[in-house]
Chains A and B, each alone.
Chain A
Amino acid sequence: MSNGVTAYLVRLRHNALPTTLRVIGVAVLLAILLYLPYVLQFRSIFGVRLSNMQLLNIGLSQVNLTLISIIGAVSLNYLTGCAGLVSVGHAAFFALGSMVAAATGMHLKLPFLATLVAAMLAGAMAGVVAGLPSLRVRGLYFVLSTLAIHFIVVFVFAEYQYAFHDVTGVAVGDAKIGSFEIDSGIKWYFFLLPITVLSCLLMRNTLFHREGRAVLAMRDNELAAAAAGIDVRILKLKVFAFSSAFASLAGALQAYYLSNVAAEMYSLNFAIQFIAIIIVGGMGTIGGGVIGAIVWLLLPSILMGAATEVKSGPGDFASFLLAHRPQIVNLIFGSIVALILIFAPHGIAGFLRPLWQRMIGGLPWRGRT
């Protein structure tokens, strides 16, 4: 019997909080997640009305869009952080997902949920194609191949849009499950939350099993991974397909949420935003993608809200600040990214992880960098 390893596992468990506390923790988290949309919708907590700044200038649709972005960010983090394949073409899969959802809905008359599945399948297939260059080139050259793929997909999207849809964009159908239409913020929230949690869990679970662990090994040392019998080339394509399927799902969900998407939306900046998210959040961890997406999508709004509140102060300076709010928010934001890169290379998740581990002892969001 292996006493040492068992001892290690037992130690993990003993560091954890007592079971009752853990139950309370999970219960509170769940209660907050369930209650959150109502707080944001009615702008009040237990009947006490809250001001906009007390709610950090955040609204329900921002939270919904953040949930969608979490799927996108975590899938990129899976590809880039866990498998070491740096991609700047992630927006392409968003575009593809929305295009396929619209096309299967319009031309094949598939119902809403079926179009989501179709988008995932198409994303997986396109992921294999986009992953092909990884067999030939690596590092920076691979990054550039994903850049090329981005431009090509967006071009195809634009051609599709002009050929089959309105000039202002691709209209996707209503989000209907049977006769139930998802048409309000709260409905969307309760539809997106489980999908997002499930997507994150699915990606996380792989890392604790055979092939997912091999993905991490491949990232750390390709040669040694091959020497252990891992077919690195096939695995890269699989990871690409897996990650792209989720990115396409996010793209399709976003398209349904907005009800109309245009090729112009999927700019290079859109893709770069996801890279920024995983860097800010922390590379190679599921939690990093989640935290990064939350910070990246909600922080500007908080900053903007705070900037609006700053009305007093030395006259000219305050009015200068007020007139240039967006630029100042950008400046602060760019600087935060730079500071995180320099001083916290493992992102916010890397920063929080020691605290988190001490608190609950286990390794719930496996930490890897």
Chain B
Amino acid sequence: MLSQFIFSGLALGSIYGLVALGFTVIYKATQVFNFAQGMLMVCGAYFAVTASIHLGLPFPLTIAFILVGAGILGIAIYFLLIKPLGGQALLPMIMITIALSIILRAVIELIYGGAPLTLRLPLPSGVFVLGDVRISQLHVTAAVVSWLCMLLFIVFFRRSRAGLLMRATADGYEAAVLSGIRVDRINAAAWAIGTMLAAIGGVFLCQLQLVSVELENIGLLALPAVVIGGLQSVPGAILGGLLVGLIEQLASGYISPKARDIFIYVPLLLILFIRPWGLFGQKELGRV
């Protein structure tokens, strides 16, 4: 039982981690706490529907289509909504992302209709049997791909020039402007990457379930994940995601599915009290 829960928890957690990572990237670059992250994830699932069903693209092209679509969407969101609002207080920035999710939901329903859709991508769907433990191949694929994406991102973030610029921008907006970095481009890129990561998460979730705007609620579990991990921390987001996945499975399995929210949000409250900067984040120096 336990190992079973841990495996499925880690698999789900990897997807959350992926979405949370996208969230962190956006937050680091533009200081926007993105409540629409769940809806961006849903967009990924619907991009897959368009590519695979409406356009009939083969699988690799479908993937490319999703990534390009998500990238363009992210850039468009940055320039249309986030930039014009630039540097406003906390609440307007939160609200604009909520407005974004209302708009995206309406647009999706206008294009695809409200009913859930079924999408079958050629991903492995069998089961590995290891002794007592049965592991869904889809879970394993989701976890492996999520980890690959995370690794790719970390390499990009740490090693590439663009990643360097991104980190520089995140550390200080003014300094970045002064040193000649084109902050807009970097921020737009962050939104593009954040949206792509969410979209990949969405593709996997819609394989586990249906393609539906209601997937947003699951995507919102990325919120506690990033807070537990520490808003600014890339590894924190990933580990936070894994932790939320594990808590979800163990709490549902051993106690009750209702208890899930409590087991996620009570620790979150405790963490806010004890280590407000998250488990893996860095303490921000500031005066009281």
Residues of A near any B CB (own CB < 8 A): 80, 86, 88, 133, 136-137, 139-141, 143-145, 147-149, 151-152, 154-155, 158, 223, 268, 272, 275-276, 279, 283, 324, 327-328, 330-331, 333-335, 337-338, 341-342, 345
Contacts and interface: CB of A to CB of B under 8 A. Distances in A.
A279 B95 contact: yes
A272 B35 CA distance: 11
By secondary structure, the B interface counts as helix
Interface in B22-40: 33, 35
Interface string B220-234: 100110010001000
Most buried by B among A148, A275, A331: A148
Contacts of A283: 91
A143 B107 contact: no
Given A154-B261, A324-B109, 8 more contacts: A143-B90, A147-B223, A275-B91, A276-B95, A283-B91, A331-B106, A331-B110, A337-B102
A86 B91 contact: yes
B261 A151 contact: yes
A151 B263 CA distance: 10
A151 B244 CA distance: 15
Contact of B90 (A140, A151, A333): A140
19 contacts: A133-B272, A147-B265, A148-B272, A151-B264, A151-B265, A152-B262, A152-B269, A155-B262, A272-B98, A275-B91, A327-B106, A328-B106, A331-B107, A331-B110, A337-B96, A337-B98, A337-B102, A338-B96, A341-B88
Contacts, number: 119
Contacts of A86: 90-91, 94
Nearest to A283: B91
B108 to A, nearest CB: 9
A272 B264 CA distance: 20
B257 to A, nearest CB: 12
Nearest to B228: A144
Contacts of B96: 337-338, 341-342
Contact of B258 (A137, A155, A268, A279): A155
B139 interface: no
Nearest 5 A/B pairs, CB to CB: A334-B102, A334-B103, A331-B106, A330-B106, A148-B265
Contacts of A137: 272-273, 276
A361 B114 CA distance: 51
B223 A334 contact: no
Nearest to A267: B217
Nearest to A223: B287
Interface residues of B, number: 41
Nearest to B231: A140
A64 to B, nearest CB: 25
A148 B269 contact: yes
A136 B266 CA distance: 16
B84 interface: yes
Contacts of B262: 151-152, 155
A342 B81 contact: yes
Interface of B: 33, 35, 81, 84-85, 88, 90-92, 94-96, 98-100, 102-103, 105-107, 109-110, 114, 220, 223-224, 227, 231, 258, 261-262, 264-266, 268-269, 272-273, 276-277, 287
Contact of B95 (A149, A223, A268, A341): A341
A328 B110 contact: yes
B33 to A, nearest CB: 6
Given A136-B272, A137-B276, A324-B109, A155 B94 contact: no
B82 to A, nearest CB: 10
A279 B95 CA distance: 8
A345 B227 contact: no
Contact of B92 (A88, A148, A279): A279
A66 to B, nearest CB: 20
A144 B223 contact: yes
B103 A338 contact: yes
Contacts of A158: 258
A337 B98 CA distance: 9
Given A143-B33, A223-B287, A338 B269 contact: no
Contacts of A80: 91
A337 B97 CA distance: 10
B215 to A, nearest CB: 15
B106 A338 contact: no
A126 to B, nearest CB: 14
Contacts of B107: 331
A334 B100 contact: yes
A141 to B, nearest CB: 5
Contacts of B100: 334, 338
A79 to B, nearest CB: 11
B273 A337 contact: no
B273 A136 contact: yes
